[in-house]
């Protein structure tokens, strides 16, 4: 199994182009199940999760073709992916597939809407929390779906098609919002989704659905009105830039010092993290080409944060921010409100010399003068990149094991950091 070695102490300087958002790409790919026409997605990141989902969709009859980069080979031009679900050949998503990628559970809504039946395995446990699917199921029931649990599978039927209805989520859920939204596009009548997730990735899916012929009002708000249509057509859609990748590299620059232009980044997707970085003493400038991040000589001030649904501080940047606060001049408090088990990176940061106290859902990070390289293990996608950030500022070498987590969500991380002067090397198993 590959590992990554990071040699710390080098400021980052240069430019990093931000890839398309993984968390938008995956549901957009699943939306291809809603039409027999071709859905073309541009700016698709080259990630393990994308490749895995393409394989899963092929099980349902989705043909996929990848254009790849343009002829000049510029790294900033993402892949173009063509998806065609002319005929759905199988409405079952087996356990062996769903367990590998939780997002594949989202095929439930589109399969049910188009084929009026679906059999999808429950996804099982998750490294960062239980993340139950009850909100998905209750939302689909509100649209008339008949749902039973049988041997670890969700068996859903809608013999007469999904109907209009009102879905009120008791708490914000990105996955449930996307699942019900895609199903509602083909429902008969009007569907109202209340307390919908307002994350940009949800809006990106809704925007793509409208290009396919869906009738959706309230995009970007907590209340979505969908007037169901009989069929959806193909479309061409460009995936929005990845705000989590943007925030991750911004925090890497803030930690190491230096100056980096994050090309193609959109500040409107990151207002809360940008505010936090500025409060910590980091220079963040928004330009026509992206976001410039710099810290030249000044220390880092400790800042308290609490993870929240968008537009609040994202849980997917919590681990990275914790690594940054390890170098702050004082103590900061980080409260995790989204997932109940998302502090597993704390013990690994401690191996590098971090001083972090845990009490319930709050971590108190005491800034230290220096971190020292050590061998550590990634526990999940965002935790893995927090260890990279810590390694970039640690003295000596840090070796990060189980880097397949990184490959799931960060495109060409070693190259992007290396182009800015970082000493990052992948070591083959």
pLDDT in tens, the chain (429 residues): 789 999 999 999 999 999 999 999 999 999 999 999 999 999 999 999 999 999 999 999 999 999 865 544 455 568 999 999 999 999 999 998 888 888 899 999 999 999 999 999 998 644 434 457 899 999 999 999 999 999 989 999 999 999 999 999 999 999 999 999 999 999 999 999 999 999 999 999 999 999 999 999 999 999 999 999 999 999 999 999 999 999 999 999 999 999 999 999 999 999 999 999 999 999 999 999 999 999 998 899 999 999 999 999 999 999 999 999 999 999 999 999 987 667 889 999 999 999 999 999 999 999 999 999 999 998 877 788 999 999 999 999 999 998 888 888 899 999 999 999 999 999 986
- Active site positions, annotated: 126
C-alpha 23/C-alpha 244 separation (Å) is 9
* Per-residue pLDDT, 141: 97
Q: Is 119 annotated as a binding residue?
A: no
Q: Are 293 and 277 in contact (CB under 8 A)?
A: yes
C-alpha 297/C-alpha 343 separation (Å) is 30
How does 129-154 read in b/e, with b if 16+ C-beta sit within 10 Å? eebebebbbbbbebbbbebeeeeebb
Boundaries of every domain in the chain: 3-16+242-427, 24-229
Establish whether the linkage from the previous residue to 311 is cis, with ω within 30° of 0: yes
Q: Is 408 annotated as a binding residue?
A: no
DSSP H or E stretch at residue 154: strand 153-157
Query: For residue range 143-184, what is the model confidence (pLDDT) as tens digits?
Result: 999 999 999 899 999 999 999 999 999 999 999 999 999 999
Beta carbons within 8 Å of 190's beta carbon, 6+ residues apart: 164, 225, 226, 227, 228
| Residue 261 bridge partners (DSSP) | 15, 292
C-alpha 383/C-alpha 392 separation (Å) is 15
Residue 297 burial (C-beta neighbours within 10 Å; 0-12, 13-18, 19+): exposed
- Return the beta strands (E) in 186-230 as ranges: 188-194, 215-217, 223-227
Q: Are 302 and 331 in contact (CB under 8 A)?
A: yes
Q: Which of 207, 222, 106, 206 is nearest to 169 (CA)?
A: 222
C-alpha 48/C-alpha 405 separation (Å) is 9
* Per-residue pLDDT, 97: 87
C-alpha 205/C-alpha 279 separation (Å) is 32
Q: Is 132 annotated as a binding residue?
A: yes
Domains 3-16+242-427 and 24-229 agree in fold = yes
Q: Is 172 annotated as a binding residue?
A: yes
Instruction: Give CA separation, 91 vs 56, 116, 139, 144, in Å.
Output: 12, 9, 19, 18
For the segment(s) 24-229, the CATH number from 3.40.50.1370, 3.65.10.10, 3.40.50.11400, 2.160.10.10 is 3.65.10.10
| Residue 236 bridge partners (DSSP) | 40
Q: Are 127 and 153 in contact (CB under 8 A)?
A: no
Q: Is 316 annotated as a binding residue?
A: yes
Report the chain's C-alpha Rg in angstroms: 22
C-alpha 128/C-alpha 117 separation (Å) is 30
Q: Which of 378, 397, 371, 381 is nearest to 6 (CA)?
A: 397
Q: Which of 233, 224, 91 is nearest to 164 (CA)?
A: 224
CATH class for domain 3-16+242-427? alpha beta
Q: Is 22 annotated as a binding residue?
A: yes
Q: Which of 254, 332, 238 is nearest to 295 (CA)?
A: 254
C-alpha 206/C-alpha 125 separation (Å) is 28
C-alpha 414/C-alpha 424 separation (Å) is 6
Q: Is 135 annotated as a binding residue?
A: yes
């Amino acid at each position: 199994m590959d590992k990554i070695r990071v040699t710390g102490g080098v400021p980052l300087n240069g430019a990093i182009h931000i890839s398309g958002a993984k968390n938008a790409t995956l549901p957009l790919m699943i939306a291809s199940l809603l039409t027999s026409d071709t859905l073309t997605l541009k700016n698709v990141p080259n990630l393990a999760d994308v490749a895995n989902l393409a394989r899963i969709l092929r099980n349902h009859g989705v043909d996929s073709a990848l254009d790849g980069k343009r002829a000049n080979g510029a790294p900033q031009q993402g892949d173009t992916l063509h998806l065609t679900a002319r005929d759905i050949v199988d409405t079952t998503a087996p356990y062996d597939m769903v367990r590998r990628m939780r997002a594949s559970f989202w095929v439930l809504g589109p399969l049910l809407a188009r084929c009026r039946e679906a059999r999808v395995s429950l996804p099982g446990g998750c490294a960062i929390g239980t993340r139950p699917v009850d909100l998905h199921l209750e939302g689909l029931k509100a649209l008339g779906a008949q749902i039973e649990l049988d041997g670890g599978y969700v068996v859903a039927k809608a013999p007469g098609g999904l109907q209009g209805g009102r879905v009120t989520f008791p708490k914000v859920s990105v996955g449930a919002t996307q699942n019900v939204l895609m199903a509602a596009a083909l429902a008969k009548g009007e569907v109202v989704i209340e307390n919908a997730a307002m994350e940009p990735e949800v809006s990106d899916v809704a925007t793509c659905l409208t290009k396919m012929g869906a009738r959706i009002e309230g995009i970007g708000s907590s209340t979505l009105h969908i007037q169901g249509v009989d069929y959806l057509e193909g479309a061409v859609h460009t995936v929005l830039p990845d705000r989590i990748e943007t925030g991750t590299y911004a925090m890497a620059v803030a930690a190491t010092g230096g100056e980096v232009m994050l090309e193609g980044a959109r500040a409107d997707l990151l207002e809360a993290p940008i505010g936090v970085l500025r409060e910590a003493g980091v220079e963040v400038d928004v330009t026509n080409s992206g976001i410039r991040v710099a810290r030249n000589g000044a220390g880092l001030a400790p800042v308290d944060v609490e993870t929240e649904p968008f537009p609040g501080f994202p849980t997917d940047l919590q681990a990275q921010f914790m690594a940054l606060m390890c170098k702050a001049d004082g103590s900061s408090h980080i409260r995790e409100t989204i997932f109940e088990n998302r502090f597993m990176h704390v013990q690994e940061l401690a191996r590098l010399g971090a001083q972090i106290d845990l009490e319930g859902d709050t971590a108190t990070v005491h800034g230290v003068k220096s971190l020292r390289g050590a061998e550590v293990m990634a526990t999940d996608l965002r935790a893995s990149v927090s260890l990279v950030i810590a390694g970039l500022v640690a003295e000596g070498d840090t070796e990060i094991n189980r880097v397949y987590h990184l490959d799931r969500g960060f495109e060409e991380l070693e190259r992007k950091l290396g182009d800015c002067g970082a000493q990052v090397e992948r070591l083959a198993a």
